[in-house]
Amino acid sequence: MTTIRVLIADDQMLVRQGFTVLLNAEPGIEVVGQAVNGLDAVAKVAELAPDVVLMDIRMPELGGIEATRRITEPGGAAAKVLVLTTFDLDEYVYEALRAGASGFLLKDASAAELAHAVRVVAAGEALLAPNITKRLIAEFSRVTGTLRAPLKDRVGDLTERETEVLSLIAQGLSNAEIAERLVVAEQTVKTHVSRILVKLGLRDRTQAAVHAYETGLVRPARH
């Protein structure tokens, strides 16, 4: 079994140490380093090549959003970023997702939830807590008016079926649920998802969901 290498970036020592103890107790997960701020995180990613970075948003010198953007920029590190937050509906979390984060996790998550999140992100599945992530993306797309680019310019390379799959990803459906909805094999859905990510130059399902909202493929929920 391949060991998932984790870097923890948080300016609070107790948080870093607590997560380190919890994750090192999990099979197949190893904390390879700790960072005290965003600049330190960017440097440690380059030095240690972790698979997953647990990234606090509010840190001195360089915040988690800009650090996430630098880590996930095209041609950069392969590390996936999992944002740590105190509140599930937080505009900074949304900005982190737009910056390239693969998902987010509440700081009061249990050891089991933390380990599961790390494994999901490392595997590239990424869309954590679909109901919460979908609600957050929809709400802040509505509030910030980020439906900027014409749909045809941003998803025009996708086939009709790929566009349909992208829409369902944004609605928080898993591959199995998409397969059931479309009456196709789950492996077929996985193939569609892979092609969507390649065509749109996206890292994972979370980025695909953000993309779908921002292009207007899926309209934000109105309350």
pLDDT computed for residue 63 by the predictor: 86
Listed in order, strand segments (DSSP E) in 86-130 are 103-106
Which helix (DSSP H) or strand (DSSP E) does residue 210 occupy?
Answer: helix 205-215
pLDDT computed for residue 47 by the predictor: 93
Secondary structure letter of residue 120 according to DSSP: H
Over range 158-184, report the average pLDDT. 89
Task: Say whether pLDDT at 56 is over 80.
Answer: yes
Name every residue whose Cβ is closer than 8 Å to that of residue 35 and which is 6 or more positions away in sequence: 7, 8, 9, 10, 41, 43, 44
Q: Are 86 and 107 in contact (CB under 8 A)?
A: yes
Confidence of residue 104 (pLDDT cuts 50, 70, 90): confident
Q: Among residues 116, 67, 17, which one has the least CA distance to residue 83? A: 67
Task: Say whether pLDDT at 6 is over 80.
Answer: yes
Over range 124-130, report the average pLDDT. 58
Q: Show the tokens assigned to 113.
A: 């939830």
pTM value is 0.75
CA–CA separation, 208 and 190 (whole Å) = 14
Q: Are 34 and 23 in contact (CB under 8 A)?
A: no
Task: Say whether pLDDT at 118 is over 70.
Answer: yes
Task: Say whether pLDDT at 130 is over 60.
Answer: no
Q: Among residues 119, 127, 129, 126, which one has the least CA distance to residue 27? A: 119
Q: What is the mean pLDDT of the chain?
A: 82
Task: Say whether pLDDT at 60 is over 70.
Answer: yes
Quick one: CA dihedral 165, 99, 202, 126, positive or negative? negative
Task: Say whether pLDDT at 151 is over 50.
Answer: no
pLDDT computed for residue 137 by the predictor: 62
